[in-house]
Chains A and B, each alone.
Chain A
Amino acid sequence: QVQLQQWGAGLLKPSETLSLTCAVYGGSFSGYYWSWIRQPPGKGLEWIGEINHSGSTNYNPSLKSRVTISVDTSKNQFSLKLSSVTAADTAVYYCARGRRGGTTGTTGYYMDVWGKGTTVTVSS
């Protein structure tokens, strides 16, 4: 079955750029939306953004100015960059496979496969 393996730097200083990568194993890369989600300590989930195999992206408006999600279809990988990090960006970051469906005017979106998460701490 499909598995997501993620990695990246776990400790950053304020103003640095967070960089994480997620590799997709055991399934098709096309036809899905590949998402990043984060969870600050003791808090809920926040969707960061998504990319499909063609490179089309959608971002959370609250993070859009600092986020770049890219894809490497030759490696079945997608990546997250978050610039100018602060302590507020300290969180567990998850990658996930998104599926979108629905009918005209109605969108069904859910994430059915998740990576194990990467803890990112921003501290001076």
Chain B
Amino acid sequence: QSVLTQPPSVSAAPGQKVTISCSGSSSNIGNNYVSWYQQLPGTAPKLLIYDNNKRPSGIPDRFSGSKSGTSATLGITGLQTGDEADYYCGTWDSSLSAHVVFGGGTKLTVL
């Protein structure tokens, strides 16, 4: 059972927009920054978004992030077949034993 809650799957057609939610609590998302990772089949995760809404160099602006309260959202516009992947949210958990926590992952299918 993951500390952060994500929907198991989402789907949309090429060219459309999709959002992926990530829900947590005050000890993690509520008081810390969120990052998002894309994992293509058979590969290592890749950083997409950090500090809630910042994109590393090389990540297209089709990918965006936002945070409100204890939830965060990843948005992807202009969907491409190459975006089919698993997406994970992550953040720092400031509970007694501070550590990194992830969501369970969301499988994006581009129909």
Contacts and interface: CB of A to CB of B under 8 A. Distances in A.
A108 B92 contact: yes
Nearest to B2: A44
Contacts of A112: 47, 50, 56
Interface string A94-115: 1000111110011111111011
B35 interface: yes
B49 to A, nearest CB: 8
Interface residues of B, number: 28
B44 A116 contact: yes
A102 B94 CA distance: 13
Instruction: Say what secondary structure dominates the interface of chain A.
Output: strand
Nearest to A105: B31
Interface string B84-111: 0000101110100111111111000000
A94 B44 contact: yes
A60 B37 CA distance: 19
Given A45-B88, A107-B94, A61 B33 contact: no
Nearest to A116: B44
Given A107-B33, A108-B32, A111-B47, A44 B99 contact: no
B17 interface: no
Interface in A74-105: 94, 98-102, 105
Interface of A: 35, 37, 44-47, 49-50, 58-61, 64, 94, 98-102, 105-112, 114-117
